[in-house]
Amino acid sequence: MVNNSAGRGKRKGLGMAKAGAKGRKPKMRASAEVAEIFRRLHAIEPEPKGELEHVNAYTLLVAVVLSAQATDAGVNKATRPLFAIADTPEKMLALGEDTVRDYIKTIGLFRNKAKNVILLSQALIERFGGAVPANRDDLVTLPGVGRKTANVVMNMAFGEATFAVDTHVFRVSNRLPLAPGKNPDQVEAGLEKLVPEPYRMHAHHWLILHGRYTCKAQRPECWRCPLTDLCQFEPKSTPPKVKAKAQP
Ligand code: SF4
């Protein structure tokens, strides 16, 4: 789920340059339109869930740390056997960095991530009695944990209505536009201001799912998008042509 490339807003495919009508500054969304966007996303998936497998707040935290610049499916494949033997900071520490590295070697940046998993487990034991702290200020002091990771944990483990801005949330927010911004912090601040109840709790999950499966980076599937009439991104994409079958 979590992809840290959101900050590179100028990268081809994020749709920044084309958001809004021909580069004009996008207008602030009317609140009725914002509510309608989320009403439709809610109707499609009333109870969206994150796709990272975990068994408690600690394994969620580790999975999110591992998911930076990796796919959820790839992370799940590696963490399934790892979490079966290490689902607490104490057990992870007992495994040691070399063994953790071995379990996660199929994930990008695995050397650095293994180091962070051990360091953050150590920090949880030393500073928080082995528990995952339920506030963002403490979470971001842990090795390998940034604001986005902290927001995911606050939302999924502790039921806080936070807005974790990954590459999908960043792209969709800029394309529609919903809460346009040059970096994830600006988008997060915009979403904080804009998203109404009762949609705040699941808003970032809906935007992730929309970005992952419909409003894709390289080729958004506008022809089947439920938000097309509310979207200012141009040009809208058209359905792929079906090749005519050769006559016998
Ligand atoms: S119409 Fe939908 S898929 Fe196309 S750019 Fe807009 S939000 Fe994305």
Does residue 136 belong to any structural domain of this protein? yes
Q: Whose CA is nearest to atom 5 of ligand 1?
A: 233
Cα separation, 244 vs 24, whole angstroms: 40
Q: Which residues are catalytic?
A: 148, 166
Is any ligand 1 atom within 6 A of the Cβ of residue 219?
A: no
Here the CATH number for the domain that contains residue 182 is 1.10.1670.10
How would residue 246 be classed by pLDDT, with cut points 50, 70 and 90? Answer: low
For residues 12-32, average pLDDT: 55
Could you list the residue range(s) of the whole structural domain that residue 211 is in? 4-48+162-230
Q: What is the pLDDT of residues 38-70, one digit of tens each?
A: 999 999 999 998 899 999 999 999 999 999 889
174 CA from centroid of ligand 1 (Å): 10
Q: Which residue has the tokens 């495919």?
A: 13
pLDDT at 2: 44
pTM, two decimals, is 0.85
> pLDDT (tens digit, 9 = 90+) per residue, 198-222?
999 999 999 999 999 999 999 999 9
**Is there a single domain that holds both residue 41 and residue 124?**
no
Q: Is 174 in the pocket of ligand 1 (CB under 6 A)?
A: no
Which of 29-33, 75-79, 155-159, 166-170 is the least confident region? 29-33
Kindly state if the Cβ of 215 falls inside 6 Å of ligand 1.
yes
- What is the reported pLDDT for 241? 82
75 and 147 inside one domain: yes
Where a domain ends, among 118, 142, 158?
158
Residues 6+ apart with CB under 8 A from 20: 26, 177, 180, 232
Same structural domain, 138 and 206: no
- The confidence score (pLDDT) of residue 247 equals 64
pLDDT at position 180, please?
94
**The predicted structure's pLDDT at residue 20:** 43
> Ligand 1, closest atom to CA 231?
6
Q: How far is the C-alpha of 63 from the C-alpha of 78, rounded, in Å?
A: 10
Q: Atom 8 of ligand 1 has which residue's CA nearest to it?
A: 215
Helices (H), the chain: 31-44, 57-66, 72-85, 89-95, 97-103, 110-128, 136-139, 147-158, 167-175, 184-194, 203-213
The atom number, within ligand 1, closest to the CA of 232 reads 6
Inter-axis angle of helices 57-66 and 147-158, nearest 10: 150
For ligand 1, atom 4, which residue shows the shortest CA distance? 222
Ligand 1 geometric centre to CA of 99 (Å): 43
Please work out whether the CB of residue 155 comes within 6 Å of at least one atom of ligand 1.
no
Ligand 1 centroid–CA 11 distance in Å is 18
Q: Is residue 89 located within the same domain as residue 182?
A: no
Q: What is the CATH number of the domain that holds 83?
A: 1.10.340.30
**Is the minimum distance from the CB of 208 to ligand 1 under 6 angstroms?**
no
Number of domains in the chain: 2
When pLDDT is cut at 50, 70 and 90, the band that residue 3 belongs to is very low
CA distances (Å), origin 170, targets 18, 60, 79, 173: 14, 22, 26, 5
- So what's the pLDDT on residue 69? 86
> Alpha-carbon distance 64 to 139, whole Å?
12
